[in-house]
């Protein structure tokens, strides 16, 4: 079994499975963690203080180049708690009603939007108009058209737009990309990538069950991870899709959005990716079969810790703070006045949304849908 300990990570990270040179971004991540940064930091305001914001705050605290400088919330008790915990001044705390006043606050560089899906577009447009850079969580919006409007608004305002693709900074996923795009085991022919959580017991009033706020069920909530993994590993855009809705086993909850959905993406290189997203059971796996071997992760698409193996050996990289790595990379680019890398840009979010829309269209129609 091939493993990489925390202590030997920097020494060994230059080498991938089988002695092949690993991605330079892995090396950069290791070297960066070995340094202490005491210069100007990117200041972030979290917009929406729900579950994921409570994950992100740890990532920002662990980052080298970022600092939590503001909050946006509709709950006074949350505002009071966060201001006390992080020593935030009252002037850096906003409600959804007075959010636009953030335009007058030079203390905040970036607005990180972690609101329900249905509010992503509105607050991206408002943040851009206020002259703030934007990071928005996945899915970027409800439609490809909405994504393009968000991209155009940020370009017009002269600010940068990123999407929260945290897995792009995890060493295990960087390894999957290397194995697939460099064809370490030959041409990838088949990918299976699925993600699901059993939501029995969730409140019927949860926003994930409301079409107006969620845009859909597990496809909108989780499907982007499956679509991303296949596009990321193959380095290709799917050309067509077929899809099927699964059964509704919890009709008291799933009145507006789907409970289960399965789809097949067809890629120009010949690979087919089959995925399922569900709210009925727990699943979290990625498997790729190539001409001369296979590689997989399980867990794969959640927060980890991930465990991988190939047809030759197991691989385990150290656990990294995905959120810290993500915001640090964004900070490096913005603080240096450089454009964000394409793989986390709004354009990447638009491409994912094009596929998600195609999956819904295929499932509703029962027909194969062309994506090009």
CA 342-53-282 angle, to 5 degrees, is: 85
Q: Please state, in angstroms and rounded to a whole number, the distance separating the CA atoms of residues 227 and 358.
A: 12
Residue whose C-alpha is closest to residue 360's, from 250, 258, 230: 258
> CA angle, 216 as apex, 127 and 143 as ends, to 5°?
50
Instruction: Please classify residue 152 by burial: count the beta carbons closer than 10 Å to its beta carbon, then call 0-12 exposed, 13-18 middle and 19+ buried.
Output: middle
Dist. CA 246–CA 193, nearest whole Å: 16
Token pair belonging to 138: 């996945």
| Distance from C-alpha of 229 to C-alpha of 325, rounded to nearest angstrom | 18
**What distance in Å separates the CA atoms of residue 163 and residue 134, rounded to the nearest whole number?**
8
Question: Taking a C-beta distance cutoff of 8 angstroms, is the pair 321, 62 a contact?
Answer: yes
Give the three-class secondary structure for 151. Answer: helix
Q: In what order do the strands lie in the sheet with 188-196?
A: 2-3, 314-316, 308-310, 293-297, 283-290, 188-196, 272-278, 260-266, 240-245, 369-370
Give the C-alpha separation, 60 to 70, whole Å. 12
260 membership: H or E segment, kind and range:
strand 260-266
β 240-245/188-196 pair status: unpaired
Give the active site residues. Answer: 138, 225
């Amino acid at each position: 079994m091939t493993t990489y300990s925390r202590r030997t990570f920097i020494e060994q990270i230059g080498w991938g499975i089988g002695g092949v040179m690993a991605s330079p971004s892995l090396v950069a991540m290791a070297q960066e963690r070995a340094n202490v940064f005491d210069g100007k930091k990117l200041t972030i305001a979290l917009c929406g203080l729900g579950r994921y914001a409570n994950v992100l705050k740890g990532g920002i605290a662990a980052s080298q180049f970022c600092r939590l400088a503001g909050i946006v919330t509709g709950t006074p008790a949350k505002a009071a708690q966060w201001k006390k915990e992080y020593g935030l001044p009252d002037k850096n705390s906003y409600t959804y009603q007075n959010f636009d006043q953030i335009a007058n606050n030079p203390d905040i560089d970036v607005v990180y939007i972690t609101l329900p899906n249905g509010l992503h577009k509105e607050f991206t447009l408002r943040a851009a108009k206020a002259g703030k850079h934007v990071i928005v969580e996945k899915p970027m919006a409800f439609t490809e058209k909405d994504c393009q409007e968000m991209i155009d608004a940020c370009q017009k305002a002269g600010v940068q737009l990123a999407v929260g693709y945290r897995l792009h900074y995890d060493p295990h996923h960087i390894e999957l990309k290397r194995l697939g795009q460099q064809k370490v085991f030959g041409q990838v022919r088949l990918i299976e990538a699925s993600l699901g959580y059993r939501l029995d017991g969730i409140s019927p009033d949860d926003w994930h069950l409301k079409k107006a706020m969620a845009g859909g069920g597990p496809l909108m909530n989780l499907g982007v991870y499956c679509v991303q993994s296949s596009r990321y590993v193959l380095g290709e855009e799917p050309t067509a899709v077929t899809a099927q809705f699964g059964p509704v086993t919890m009709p008291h909850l799933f009145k507006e959005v789907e409970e289960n959905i399965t789809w097949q993406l067809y890629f120009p290189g010949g690979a087919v990716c089959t995925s399922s997203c569900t709210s009925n059971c727990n699943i979290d796996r990625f498997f790729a079969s190539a001409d001369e071997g296979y590689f997989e992760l399980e867990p794969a698409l959640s927060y980890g810790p991930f465990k991988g193996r190939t047809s030759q050996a197991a691989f385990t990289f150290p656990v990294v703070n995905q959120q810290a790595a993500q915001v640090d990379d964004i900070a490096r680019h913005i603080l240096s006045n450089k454009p964000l890398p394409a793989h986390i840009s709004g354009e990447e979010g638009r491409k994912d949304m094009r596929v998600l829309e195609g999956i819904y269209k295929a499932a509703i129609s029962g027909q194969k849908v062309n994506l090009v």
